[in-house]
Structure 1
Amino acid sequence: MVASLESTVREISPQAIARELARRLAPQATYVRVAHSAEGWKILLEAEQIPDQRTCLDVLVAFLSPVLPQSIDVYGRQLGGQRPAWGVRLRPRPVATPTPGTVRARQLEPLALAASVLGIFGLGAVGQWQSPSVWLAAAPEPTVEQVRSVILNAAPILTPARPPLWHHYSPPEAFRGHVFNRVALPPEQKLVALTFDDGPDPTYTPQVLDILAQEKVKATFFAIARAVAARPKLAQRIVREGHVLANHSWSHGYHYFNPAAAQHEVDQSQQLIEDISGANIKLFRPPGGNLHNGLVSHASQQGYGVVMWSVDPQDWLPRQTSDRIVNTVVQQAHAGAIVLLHDGGGSRRATVAALPRIIAELRAKGYQFVTVPELIAAQEPTSLPEPPSWLTIQETAQLQQLILQLETRIQVLEKELKTTPLWAIAEREYLAATLREQQAALSWVQQRLAFEQAAEGQYQAALKLAEQATLAAKAQQSSVAKTLWQRAIATLDSIPNTAFVAPLAQIKQRQYSCRMHQLQ
């Protein structure tokens, strides 16, 4: 008992005091709520029957007198009631030279015990009881999950960010270097991946993206690299809107490629897609599904997952109709299916017309739409890439928007907490807990913003060094240029991997390394 009391006294937290008082008042089955502010302590006691005032005060005085030097307002209320039945203020008695054991540290000062709440709280305690700080002190500490939930719930309404820079993906061992046309899932796991080949096309790709955005569906686009080079903004839009942009070769050739040509066809495409969009997805789809012309052999050796398909509505046929496309997809769909469609390579009017119906009819059958990496992850739960953090937004401008949003929400909650009726205990507790969650979220976002701004500062410093290196190289100052390239690379290397700008920094590192070696 003594050890427990000493431990509680050392903590001096509202939660610790509430626990100890509840234990001491256990015979009355009393529920205890404790709040603290600079002005003093507030204690609310509740029980099935109105707590006995004298018994409760005896326990409080015996327990709290030695440890709490401030005034204490104590209220008793029947459990579930709206108004306290009694209230008492305990004040420290001024003592010139306190002597342990001889001086009683507290005296009772009865408050007005009128039935009116204003009468009970009318002796100056009302302002303190209304103060948000009192209720915040008593509110539980938000959990990590609660703070994340606040941020994630706010993120979708922010202005869209630039391309998700963390879109770097390598398939797990079971798929890496292998050809697959579906993902083996149990029948009840009704996931389907829509894939689009041969784009980006200036006419049909925007229409496909508009439909996917309207239906809130994510898809996988296997793009021809020279089309990406010709239409970089479309490629960037694909990635920016949360889709997967993967490799469909440079030229879409069906002929045989020798090893050197195959390396150029696959690797050059991958590099260009990454340079333009920031995405490096190690998935490859061979043109025409040709597995034996040298491209698949090279892609497999490089660790790509070679993605074929299990549902083919042949939407590429010149006279194909939207009805036949829809019927084929809906009839052949299965858990783990990969559906082949096209957003380029010819007229895709039928595909565009069929797409909303495909989505609606498969949803009616209980299917959900995912990207190919997500489909793989359904079988291999650890295979999805980890973003810089659990945060779903990817740029500092959005963090700044989020800070303003949280600050506004906090102001509203503070006003609501201060103006809520005194007897609305449950509502005040809810508002205080919500307010603490918002404040904790704001603190986290502010820290994250400072972290990202520091990383962006390093990135910009590296770009300036690279500009100086380029000028030195043009002036035939090779040693100076090499030193500047080295400094730029080292600066980029110091950027944390979890920063938003880290993937771009990695791309620049590779580019600067190549330029530095060209000087030698």
Structure 2
Amino acid sequence: MTKIVLIILMIFIMYAIIPNFYSRNISKNVLRRFDNTNYLALTFDDGPDPKYTPELLDLLKKNEVKATFFLVADKAYKNKELVYRMIKEGHEVGLHSLKHKSAWLTTPLQTKYNFDRSIEIFKELGINIKLFRPPWGTFNLFTLYYATKYRLKTIFWTKEAKDWSRKTTVEQIKDRIINNINNGDIIVLHDSNGAEGAPKRTIEAVRDIIPKLKHDGYEFVTISQGMGGVEFEQDSQIYI
């Protein structure tokens, strides 16, 4: 029995723990921050959400800020008008898996299917996906392989606020971002999922985060803008 447990543990370490550490901290195929710039990227995971995403988009439009949304493919298909609105208003969209399942709990065949089907969905929507962020920021042995196969740039982050937790308040979200910000940071927040009402608290925090960081001299950009240093053309995400 002990031998079986050890074998399972070793397989898990090889399949999940080591690839996860390598991808998060070492791999050159993963973008973690922008270098030598006052750029900041606001990124939002887990949407689109018909309840919260419209309010967030209204707020971003009011503040003239462009963000990057990492979308769950199934949700994107069910809320396509929200996705088209994002792109029309100059935001960038990327892939955040098919159903938001951790790579640690996904077999090799499931990993392949998740990428294949997700890409199919975005093609059906007429959207050219160039970016990828794995759910929970977790990687398995095949995550980067399939991201690279589909020519997706994998994006991690440097700042997060645990805004998905029921224990996290609006003030804590603001404090964790504003008081710890650095040049080139990629900020991860959520416009869907998490504890009940969590996205609403995120939106209220962003309402104060944006003007404060703008006042401090930071410039908000999409991921592609930050990587290329040029204005992102929203039409480049549309096939049709």
How far is the alpha carbon of 1:343 from its aligned partner?
0.3
Q: TM-score by structure 2 length?
A: 0.80
Deviation per residue, 1:118-139 (Å, 9 max, x gap): xxxxxxxxxxxxxxxxxxxxxx
d(CA) in 2 for partners of 1:503, 1:229: 16
2:239 maps to 1:503: yes
Q: Partner residue of 2:184?
A: 336
How far is the alpha carbon of 1:179 from its aligned partner?
1.4
Give % identity. 33
2:138 maps to 1:290: yes
Report the 3-state secondary structure (helix = DSSP H, G, I; strand = E; otherwise coil) of the residue aligned with 2:151. Answer: coil
2:33 maps to 1:182: yes
Report the 3-state secondary structure (helix = DSSP H, G, I; strand = E; otherwise coil) of the residue aligned with 1:246. Answer: strand
Q: Partner residue of 1:222?
A: 70
Q: Partner residue of 1:210?
A: 58
> Structure 2: where are the runs of 5+ without partners?
1-26
CA RMSD of aligned residues (A): 2.3
Q: Which amino acid aligns with 1:257?
A: T
Q: Return the match for 2:87 from 202, 223, 239.
A: 239
Change over 3 Å in CA distance of 1:279–1:215 after alignment to 2: same
d(CA) in 1 for partners of 2:239, 2:142: 30
Answer 1 or 2: higher relative contact order, Cα 8 Å, separation at least 6.
2
How far is the alpha carbon of 1:293 from its aligned partner?
5.8
Deviation per residue, 1:138-164 (Å, 9 max, x gap): xxxxxxxxxxxxxxxxxxxxxxxxxxx
2:221 maps to 1:375: no
Q: Return the match for 2:121 from 272, 284, 288.
A: 272
Change over 3 Å in CA distance of 1:205–1:293 after alignment to 2: farther
Q: Is the 8 A contact 1:177 1:302 kept in 2?
A: no
Q: Which amino acid aligns with 2:227?
A: I
2:156 maps to 1:308: yes
Corresponding residue pairs, total: 209
d(CA) in 2 for partners of 1:177, 1:303: 14
Q: Partner residue of 1:326?
A: 174
Change over 3 Å in CA distance of 1:350–1:234 after alignment to 2: same
Q: Quick check: which has more Rg, 1 or 2? A: 1
d(CA) in 1 for partners of 2:53, 2:154: 23
How far is the alpha carbon of 1:354 from its aligned partner?
0.5
Alignment of 1:348-367 (within 5 A): 348-367=199-218
Q: Is the 8 A contact 1:286 1:296 kept in 2?
A: no
How far is the alpha carbon of 1:177 from its aligned partner?
7.4
Q: Is the 8 A contact 2:128 2:239 kept in 1?
A: no
Q: Which amino acid aligns with 1:182?
A: R
Q: Partner residue of 1:26?
A: none
How far is the alpha carbon of 1:207 from its aligned partner?
0.8
Q: Which amino acid aligns with 2:207?
A: P
Deviation per residue, 1:326-353 (Å, 9 max, x gap): 1111122222110000000132111010
